[in-house]
Structure 1
Amino acid sequence: MARTKSRNEPERPSTENRSREDLPNPVWFKPVMFGFMLLGLAWIIVYYLSGSQYPIPALENWNILIGFGIAFIGFLMTTRWR
């Protein structure tokens, strides 16, 4: 049986009419976002604690930039989080 709308009931946009930007994030979005942030932090911590031996010794100080880059991807994802 179809439901009729009363006069006082506000109109809600249907799922088809809402723009893609208004839709909630997929379930995987938040874990991936926080995963990037934590992975970048872990990369930098491992680099410092290992005395430049890990994660990739040939890159030397570029390991810091890689760690910040990975974490930055996570921070960029926060701009799309709903």
Structure 2
Amino acid sequence: MTKAQQRYSTPKSKNIDEGNPVWFKPIMFGFLLLGLIWILVYYLSSARLPIAVLGDWNLLIGIGVAMVGFLMMTNWK
């Protein structure tokens, strides 16, 4: 190596973003599937399940859980 090459080396970035933690994708897909399953169970049970007292609010809960998964997707790297 020449002296010029020894003086210059490629800068090492210390702030490398390696992506999401290992638990991120399973949690994200879990929320998406849980929301879908919640809505499917509501429709297939003719509004008797998962929580009969809530009635049509079960749809909002299923959509809300799925939305958490969709919002997590925006941070997926």
Fold match (TM-score > 0.5)? yes
TM-score (norm 1): 0.78
CA distance in 2, matches of 1:5, 1:34: 48
Q: Deviations over 1:1-48 (max 9, x none)?
A: xxx9685x643312xxx17xx341110000000000000000000000
Count of matched residue pairs: 73
Give the aligned partner of residue 11 of structure 2.
11
Please list every run of at least 4 consecutive aligned residues from structure 1 whose deviation after the TM superposition is greater than 6 angstroms. Answer: none
Q: Check if 1:52 corresponds to 2:52.
A: no
Q: Identity of aligned pairs, percent?
A: 53
1:24 alignment partner AA: G
Give the aligned partner of residue 61 of structure 1.
56
Give the aligned partner of residue 30 of structure 2.
35
TM-score (norm 2): 0.83
User: Highest CA radius of gyration, 1 or 2?
Assistant: 2
What is the alpha-carbon root mean square deviation over aligned residues? 2.1
Structure 1 residue ranges without an equivalent (≥5):
none
Structure 2 residue ranges without an equivalent (≥5):
none
